[in-house]
């Protein structure tokens, strides 16, 4: 991507100076500046692939949901041929939003202002009083349809981009796709949503949440310390200490495109469940002892068939459990201890949708394998909401920090402070690690988040 060096903000600051590559610092004003926010809508959200939902939200012909791509509202609709289309939710006649509801089913999307009508694929049908040709004769009907985003389905997840000639979705994921496939492409019938996503507003800049989603493990020690103290999460049974630092060791995978994965050792969990040394167990025995989150033992043959030997090695030893897809997606495929000593796996996606320089919409999808039994889905849904939902124990912590960061970034002095990413890995990948990417092992560091900011910086300074 070529550089557009030289863009200067209104106060004289060069855009490229917001990120100091030699010292791994980012100016705090990036979390509050309206001018930077407007540039992001074109240069980040106008160029990257964005998560909009899951195809199971719109299973039937005519089904639609309304979502946002940056600051643009879009209609995500299923046409009669089953194809999914993403159309700009702006009537080309007078600029009215065509759909003013969150979801529904229709074969005709009709603007409430003057009645212009469109098909689920965005094609213009016509305007009322056809004989008067109220759309005019200056432009053919074919040119009056709704602008279309480019669409990709990945494991049933709907992504879209306005960059029609840009990288494919697979190219965008790059090496990280090898790991994401172990989460989203592991079963024959795939994932589905357990109801519509939860959505709530947080008064914070979207990047405060976005950069944390890039596998920030370190904050868990302090912000989520209750995970080592409360109920089923208490470490008291493991020697009386609530110290979570042992959980901070693992493997972290960075991406030149800002994606990140935090891979956490399953050895302790498998040993606790089986009483056996994981090193002495086969891949099949480890899968039987602790199936991946959301997967039942009956589904394990599907994993064995769909994933490579190398991917299965990672799944049973150091699987990706949390991380992000640039720019604003967090995934959580986590193991939750239960009161009876068993483990429940949860599978979730979050998106942090920008709603202005100091406001984001938090969108939470709870997922489950379509083949999972109903009672398992219900249990996953309840515990996902309790932990990661609108009022979830984890998200109450996270959503408290982001507004404070955003407010601090507005201060006359605070905006000149910097975010620092100076805890650097010096290890590289563990010996024999089978996966690609920028891989490091050991205690969690800042590298994954720093690569998130590097790609943000690259996009912001790219030639328009």
The CATH number linked to 80 is 2.102.10.10
Helices (H), 204-247: 206-212, 220-223
Task: Please state the domain count of the chain.
Answer: 2
- Regarding whether 266 and 143 lie in a shared domain, the answer is no
Looking at the predicted structure, is the pLDDT value of residue 8 above 70?
Answer: yes
- Regarding whether 295 and 180 lie in a shared domain, the answer is yes
pLDDT of residue 235: 61
- Regarding whether 272 and 143 lie in a shared domain, the answer is no
Domain of 305, in residue numbers: 174-460
The label of the residue with tokens 């979207």 reads 206
Indicate whether 56 belongs to any domain: yes
Looking at the predicted structure, is the pLDDT value of residue 444 above 70?
Answer: yes
pLDDT of residue 358: 97
- Regarding whether 271 and 221 lie in a shared domain, the answer is yes
- Regarding whether 148 and 185 lie in a shared domain, the answer is no
* 236 — pLDDT class (breaks 50, 70, 90): low
> What are 320-364's pLDDT values in tens digits?
999 999 999 999 999 999 988 899 999 999 999 999 999 999 999
- Regarding whether 211 and 122 lie in a shared domain, the answer is no
Q: 90 to each of 64, 94, 137, how far by Cα in Å? A: 15, 8, 21
pLDDT of residue 350: 97
**Chain-wide mean pLDDT for the chain?**
94
Of 138, 162, 186, the one marking the end of a domain is 162
Looking at the predicted structure, is the pLDDT value of residue 158 above 70?
Answer: yes
- Regarding whether 280 and 150 lie in a shared domain, the answer is no
Indicate whether 25 belongs to any domain: no
Indicate whether 6 belongs to any domain: no
* Mean predicted confidence (pLDDT) in 240-247: 76
Indicate whether 40 belongs to any domain: no
- Regarding whether 229 and 97 lie in a shared domain, the answer is no
Looking at the predicted structure, is the pLDDT value of residue 215 above 80?
Answer: yes
* 273 — pLDDT class (breaks 50, 70, 90): confident
Short-list 75, 114, 110, 80, CA closest to 94:
114
- Regarding whether 107 and 253 lie in a shared domain, the answer is no
- Regarding whether 286 and 413 lie in a shared domain, the answer is yes
Indicate whether 168 belongs to any domain: no
- Regarding whether 383 and 292 lie in a shared domain, the answer is yes
Of 106, 137, 162, the one marking the end of a domain is 162
Indicate whether 34 belongs to any domain: no
> What are 263-272's pLDDT values in tens digits?
999 998 899 8
Looking at the predicted structure, is the pLDDT value of residue 239 above 60?
Answer: no
pLDDT of residue 20: 98
pLDDT of residue 237: 54
Of 162, 188, 206, the one marking the end of a domain is 162
Strand order from edge to edge, sheet including 103-105: 84-88, 72-78, 63-69, 103-105
- DSSP-derived letter for residue 81 is T
Distant-in-sequence contacts of 169-174, Cβ < 8 A, 24+ apart:
169/49, 172/48, 172/49, 172/257, 173/257, 173/259, 173/325, 174/255, 174/256, 174/257, 174/259, 174/437
Dihedral angle, C-alpha 397, 399, 405, 409, nearest 10 °? -170
* 238 — pLDDT class (breaks 50, 70, 90): low
CATH code of the domain in which 360 resides = 3.90.380.10
Indicate whether 340 belongs to any domain: yes
Indicate whether 367 belongs to any domain: yes
- Regarding whether 251 and 136 lie in a shared domain, the answer is no
* CB of 300 closer than 8 Å to CB of 238: no
Residue 395, strand partner residues:
none
């Amino acid at each position: 991507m070529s550089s557009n060096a030289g863009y200067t903000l209104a106060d004289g600051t060069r855009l490229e100076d917001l990120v100091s590559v030699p010292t791994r610092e980012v100016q705090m004003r990036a979390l509050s500046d309206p001018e930077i926010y407007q540039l992001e809508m074109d240069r980040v959200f106008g160029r990257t692939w964005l998560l909009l939902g899951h195809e199971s939200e719109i299973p039937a012909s005519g089904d639609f949901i309304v979502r946002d791509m940056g600051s643009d509202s879009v209609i995500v609709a299923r046409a009669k041929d089953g194809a999914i289309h993403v159309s700009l939710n702006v009537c080309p006649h007078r600029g009215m939003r065509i759909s003013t509801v969150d979801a529904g089913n229709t074969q005709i999307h009709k603007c409430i202002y003057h009645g212009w009508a469109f098909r689920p694929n965005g094609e213009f049908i016509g305007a009322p009083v056809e004989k008067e040709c109220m759309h005019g004769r200056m432009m053919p009907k074919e040119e009056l349809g709704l602008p279309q985003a480019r669409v990709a389905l990945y494991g049933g997840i709907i992504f879209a981009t306005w960059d029609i000639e840009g990288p494919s979705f697979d190219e965008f994921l790059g090496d990280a796709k090898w790991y994401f496939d172990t989460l989203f492409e592991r079963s024959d019938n795939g994932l589905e949503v357990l109801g519509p996503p939860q959505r709530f507003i947080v008064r914070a800049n979207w990047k405060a949440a976005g950069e944390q989603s890039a596998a920030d493990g370190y904050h868990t020690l302090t912000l989520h310390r209750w995970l080592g103290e409360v109920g089923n999460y208490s470490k008291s049974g493991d020697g009386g200490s609530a110290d979570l630092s042992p959980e901070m060791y693992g493997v972290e995978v960075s991406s030149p495109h800002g994606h990140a994965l935090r891979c956490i050792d399953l050895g302790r969990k498998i040993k606790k469940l089986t009483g056996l040394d994981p090193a002495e167990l086969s891949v099949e025995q480890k899968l039987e002892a602790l199936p991946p989150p959301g997967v039942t033992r009956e589904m394990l043959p599907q994993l064995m068939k769909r994933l490579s030997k190398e991917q299965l090695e990672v799944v049973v030893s150091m699987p990706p459990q949390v991380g992000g897809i640039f720019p604003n997606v967090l995934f959580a495929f986590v193991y939750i201890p239960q009161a009876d000593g068993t483990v429940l796996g949860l599978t979730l996606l979050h998106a942090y949708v920008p709603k202005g320089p100091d406001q984001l919409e938090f969108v939470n999808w709870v997922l489950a394998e379509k083949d999972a039994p109903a009672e398992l889905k219900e249990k996953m849904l309840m515990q996902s909401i309790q932990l990661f939902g609108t009022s979830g124990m984890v998200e109450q912590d996270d959503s408290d920090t982001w507004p404070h960061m955003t407010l601090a970034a507005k201060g006359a002095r605070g905006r000149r402070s910097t975010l620092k990413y100076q805890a650097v890995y010096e290890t590289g990948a563990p010996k024999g690690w089978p996966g690609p990417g920028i891989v490091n092992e050991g205690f969690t560091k800042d590298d994954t988040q720093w690569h998130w900011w590097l790609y943000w910086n690259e996009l912001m300074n790219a030639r328009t």
